[in-house]
Amino acid sequence: MSKMSNLEYIDSLGNLTTEQSLAISVAMDKYGDNKWWLSDDLKTIGYYQLNEDFMLVDFSKFHQGVENLLGRSVWIHEFGLNIDALRKDAENAWNGLIKTKEEITDDIKNGIDTLLKIDKPIIIAKV
């Protein structure tokens, strides 16, 4: 893990407004010495970012981290439509409670059902 300071990290993010920089700084300060956003461990990044309302890392790194933590594909819509369930699953996985293949299949079916309930068109392809 890098020894980068919070201010150096914020500067590395590029073109941020003063308000954005301040919001990121406040979010980071909550974690004290736990600078998870600098971690090389994607599961760590996925777990902490999923529980943080302000995005501190690149979305693709976060997405990959959540998938690694949960041991399954996570569709982008789940972050918006099913965040509480994702957070619960992440908490369980973080604590070593891994879902079975059947439970993961149920999660996938529930994700499809969620899209259907809000009348989003989807295409399902069997491979």
Tell me: the pLDDT tens digits for 44-65? 999 999 999 889 999 999 999 9
Question: Is residue 28 located within the same domain as residue 88?
Answer: no
Rg (CA), the chain: 17
Average pLDDT over residues 75-84: 88
Question: Is residue 5 located within the same domain as residue 44?
Answer: no
Query: Closest Cα partner for 46 from 30, 64, 29?
Result: 64
Per-residue pLDDT at 114: 79
Per-residue pLDDT at 1: 63
Average pLDDT over residues 71-92: 90
Question: Is residue 49 located within the same domain as residue 65?
Answer: yes
Question: Is residue 116 located within the same domain as residue 57?
Answer: yes
**Which residues neighbour 50 within 8 Å (Cβ) at sequence distance 6 or greater?**
62, 66, 69, 83, 86, 87, 90
Number of domains observed in the structure of the chain: 2
Question: Is residue 27 located within the same domain as residue 44?
Answer: no
Question: Is residue 99 located within the same domain as residue 53?
Answer: yes
49: containing domain? 39-127
